[in-house]
Amino acid sequence: MKVLRWLNIILILAFLSACSSNGQSGGGLSGLFATSTPLPPPIIGITPAPDAPAVVTKYLDALKQDDYETMYALLTQASRDAIDLEGFSKRWNDSLNTMSAAEIEYTVNSSLLSPDNAEVGYSITYKTVLAGDIQRSILIRMHLEEGQWKIVWEDSQILPELAGGNLLAMEYSVPARGDIYARDGQPIVSQSDAFAFGIQTDQIDLEMQGALTKEVGLLCGFDPEYIQDRIDAVGPGWYLAMCEGTREEAQRLLSISPGGLVIQEYSSRYYFGTGLAPQAVGYTLPISPEKLDQYRRLGYNGSERVGQQGIEEWAEDYLAGQHGGILRVVSPSGQIISTLGQSSPQPADSVYLTIDENMQNWAQRSIEYFRGAVVVMEVDTGRILAMASGPDFDPNYFEPTNPNNTDGVSVLLSSGNTPLLNRATQGQYPLGSVFKIITMSAALESGLYLKDTPYDCQYDFLELPDRVLHDWTWEHCQERIRDGLACNSSDSVPSGLLTLQEGLMRSCNPYFWHIGNDLYSNWDRGTDIANMARGFGLGAPTGIDQILEESGQINDPATVVDAVNLSIGQGDMQVTPLQVVNFIAAIANGGTLYRPQIVEKIQPVEGDPVLMFKPEARGTLPLNTTNLAILQEAMMMVTQDSRGTARFNIRGLQFDTAGKTGTAESSNGLPHAWFAGYTMNEANTNLPDIAIVVIVENIGEGSEYSVPIFRAMVETYYYGSPQRYNYEFGEIGLPPYTPTP
């Protein structure tokens, strides 16, 4: 062996010596590394091939983002010739959806390179909802094409089990959707047998037509004249969808069964009473194509109906329950090859709302024939007892098995009154004179005004150099003059000399214009009122979370005109009724702003609730104790003093209340009517005091329209129903005497 080794060395040295002696200089050791031809200089501008593991990392990062186009661009030309982008994307997407892969994790482990080929190994974990974690080690083959590493596509890159065209299949187990209840346990939404009621216009018995429209109206909550108008509008030969009811709800109508009435039975997710608080509760729809992948990754099979709007949407995870499934690998012919994982379904939870069924029913009836909202909230907790938005809608129309589905949805979606809008949380309005509560608070906190600071409230406000503004009493005087009457009534003569508290009681516009102008022009405190409004929670979400809400808008005044407008709740300011009831409750409870909440508890089939209502304080009104007491006293004067703007329609009410009327000018019709107030009777009734806010859009003055609805809510809270039904505009729960514009 030693001899052979030495012979090899001698031969190598002889070869090198021959090369070096072939016309080249430099012998000896230096000649060992000499070359007959000089090495070429490096070529500038050529980019070396990328690192193969880096390409795989890019490929898998794109997979985590469902970016199949980027993944496809990293494939070899041969792979792209074998499968187009659509087929490639579908293969991956279908597999991930079937797996219910909610998340993907990976680690690139090793690589083996040669000049034109590479192999990169990685570990991948699919975190699935229905089959648990699925972890595999996978090897990707790569080719160098035009200086770039490209991936050879194979089905086994998804899972090794899918080699040869095998597929994934999931056997789903879907629990029944959970129910929704009112606070007292009355069902709001449940699976139930129901009847769809409609009218076939060519089968109407003319002698029973009055009974038909009356009884259908009673069940469905429609004015009989509205039903008759629809019949007259279409003529004979048409089917008009009306509403739905359970056998118990429709017992009277079923017993009468007047001619022309069409009754069809069906079974579905049923919303009792044609929908209790429908904008807050919501409804269900089939999964949209745009969201199908999202829900498939969460374990849905795609055929379920999912929550839309309100509690149905917010509580989807609770109401849907936990789906179960068995994930299998099947051959192209459908034969089961193996099982990869499985899970059992878990029953859905039920949702109990803070809503009081009776209060909610009367709130809906009171606003039914208007556009507007009614919100009732416990002052010491933030618990919502009623949230009504008018006009409302029947969520049963969205059930495809409901025979009234097609006609009902068509009428609903064509309505110009946007019944799906929750005006209580998404309606944004100028607050009008209710905002004077905030202007008064800013005046008191500035130290420039006391509760007895006087002001002579006349018809006109003359402090602006380029315009004259008129008090509401002047407007009433002009109305009387047009009617040929003298201006001698209490609401058509100037209010005269008033204290600050009396200014709120009389809702004197000139006094509050004066405050806005004074703070802005004379004291360089032009943002005081806007800051106070924000401190009361206006211009920002209340934090209710469980249903959608808008923020509203409170801007700092840029001019003295802006400041004067803001001082009486006009201009560009916008609030929601929920924001208003929230700060009214805070005034009533001593200054604490609670987070409004509409969910009482989430109750599983067995065991303790997984979520329970708990009051959550979010802030404090920026008023000291003395000034808050002054404000509370002034709000009591609004309802109790003989000259208070709410006194006329509050008189005779056996319970103490405080509040503020408001009439907010609108750019699109008559003014919005507001009333915001609270009760003060807990010590005598053992019932928690409540705050109530009412807005009726484009109708008139708050004292005439919103105060009666406020009163009806107070009486319902203490007596179970309104005790006084008829007001200037008509009966609570029936169309107004004057049609709504």
pLDDT band at 740 (very low <50, low <70, confident <90, very high): very low
How far apart, in whole angstroms, are the C-alpha atoms of residue 504 and residue 512? Answer: 9
Lookup: tokens for 365? 């009836």
Instruction: Find, among 11, 340, 396, 384, the residue nearest to 171 by Cα.
Output: 340
Q: Is the Cβ–Cβ distance between 665 and 724 less than 8 Å?
A: no
Q: Is the Cβ–Cβ distance between 88 and 71 less than 8 Å?
A: yes
Q: What pLDDT is stored for residue 738 in this prediction?
A: 55
Query: Same domain for 264 and 309?
Result: no
CATH number of residue 73's parent domain: 3.10.450.100
Question: Of 309, 324, 352, which marks where a domain is finished?
Answer: 352
Instruction: Find, among 203, 231, 236, 197, the residue nearest to 215 by Cα.
Output: 197
Average pLDDT taken over every residue of the chain: 91
Q: What pLDDT is stored for residue 41 in this prediction?
A: 53
Question: Of 147, 165, 183, which marks where a domain is finished?
Answer: 165
Burial of 538 (0-12, 13-18, 19+ CB in 10 A): buried
Q: What pLDDT is stored for residue 413 in this prediction?
A: 83
Burial of 545 (0-12, 13-18, 19+ CB in 10 A): middle
Query: Same domain for 156 and 215?
Result: no
Question: Of 272, 298, 320, which marks where a domain is finished?
Answer: 272
pLDDT band at 207 (very low <50, low <70, confident <90, very high): confident
Residue 66 clears pLDDT 80, i.e. is over it:
yes
Listed in sequence order, the residues at least 6 apart from 484 whose beta carbon sits closer than 8 Å to its beta carbon are: none
How far apart, in whole angstroms, are the C-alpha atoms of residue 268 and residue 602? Answer: 22
The phi and psi torsions of 316 (rounded to 5 degrees) equal -50, -45
What's the Rg (C-alpha) of the chain?
37
CATH number of residue 260's parent domain: 3.90.1310.10
Query: Same domain for 548 and 444?
Result: yes
Domain for residue 9, yes or no? Answer: no
Query: Same domain for 549 and 689?
Result: yes
- Residue type, position 171, single letter: E
Query: Same domain for 322 and 445?
Result: no
Q: pLDDT tens digit string along 416-447?
A: 889 999 999 999 999 999 999 999 999 999 99
Least confident of 133-147, 176-190, 207-221: 207-221
> 719: helix, coil or strand?
helix
How far apart, in whole angstroms, are the C-alpha atoms of residue 125 and residue 134? Answer: 5
Q: pLDDT tens digit string along 322-379?
A: 999 999 999 999 999 999 999 999 999 999 999 999 999 999 999 999 999 999 999 9
CA 400 to each of CA 175, 204, 270, 669: distance values in angstroms, whole numbers, following the listed order: 20, 27, 12, 38
Query: Same domain for 231 and 294?
Result: no
Q: Is the Cβ–Cβ distance between 367 and 390 less than 8 Å?
A: yes
Q: pLDDT tens digit string along 485-527?
A: 999 998 999 999 999 999 999 999 999 999 999 999 999 999 9
- The region that residue 287 occupies, defined by phi over 0 for left and psi between -120 and 50 for alpha, beta otherwise, is beta
**Helix, strand, coil tally for the chain in percent (to 5):** 40, 25, 40
CA 493 to each of CA 12, 483, 586, 641: distance values in angstroms, whole numbers, following the listed order: 125, 16, 34, 17
Q: What pLDDT is stored for residue 48 in this prediction?
A: 54
Q: Is the Cβ–Cβ distance between 351 and 599 less than 8 Å?
A: yes
Q: What is the CA angle 654-659-661, rounded to 5?
A: 115
CATH number of residue 692's parent domain: 3.40.710.10
Query: Same domain for 595 and 554?
Result: yes
Domain for residue 624, yes or no? Answer: yes
Domain for residue 263, yes or no? Answer: yes
The phi and psi torsions of 336 (rounded to 5 degrees) equal -70, 130
More confident residue, 243 or 536: 536
Q: Tokens 């107070």 label which residue?
A: 714
> 694: helix, coil or strand?
strand
Query: Same domain for 253 and 306?
Result: no
Q: pLDDT tens digit string along 584-616?
A: 999 999 999 999 999 999 999 999 999 999 999
**Global confidence as pTM:** 0.87
Q: Which residues of 87-166 form beta strands (DSSP E)?
A: 101-113, 117-128, 133-145, 148-151
Residue 26 clears pLDDT 50, i.e. is over it:
no
Say how many Å lie between the first and final Cα of the chain, rounded: 114
Domain for residue 548, yes or no? Answer: yes
How far apart, in whole angstroms, are the C-alpha atoms of residue 352 and residue 182? Answer: 6
Distance of CA 113 to the CA centre of its chain: 54
Query: Same domain for 245 and 304?
Result: no
> 698: helix, coil or strand?
coil
Q: Tokens 């090859």 label which residue?
A: 337
Query: Same domain for 90 and 57?
Result: yes
Q: pLDDT tens digit string along 296-306?
A: 999 999 999 99
Lookup: tokens for 524? 């360089």
Query: Same domain for 589 and 710?
Result: yes
Query: Same domain for 445 and 318?
Result: no
- Domain residues for the domain of 308 are 283-352
How far apart, in whole angstroms, are the C-alpha atoms of residue 686 and residue 647? Answer: 25
Residues linked to residue 586 through DSSP beta bridges, in sequence order:
none
Q: What pLDDT is stored for residue 471 in this prediction?
A: 92
Domain count along the chain: 4
Q: What pLDDT is stored for residue 409 in this prediction?
A: 86
Least confident of 394-408, 514-528, 691-705: 394-408
How far apart, in whole angstroms, are the C-alpha atoms of residue 175 and residue 321? Answer: 6
The phi and psi torsions of 587 (rounded to 5 degrees) equal -60, -40
Residue 663 clears pLDDT 60, i.e. is over it:
yes
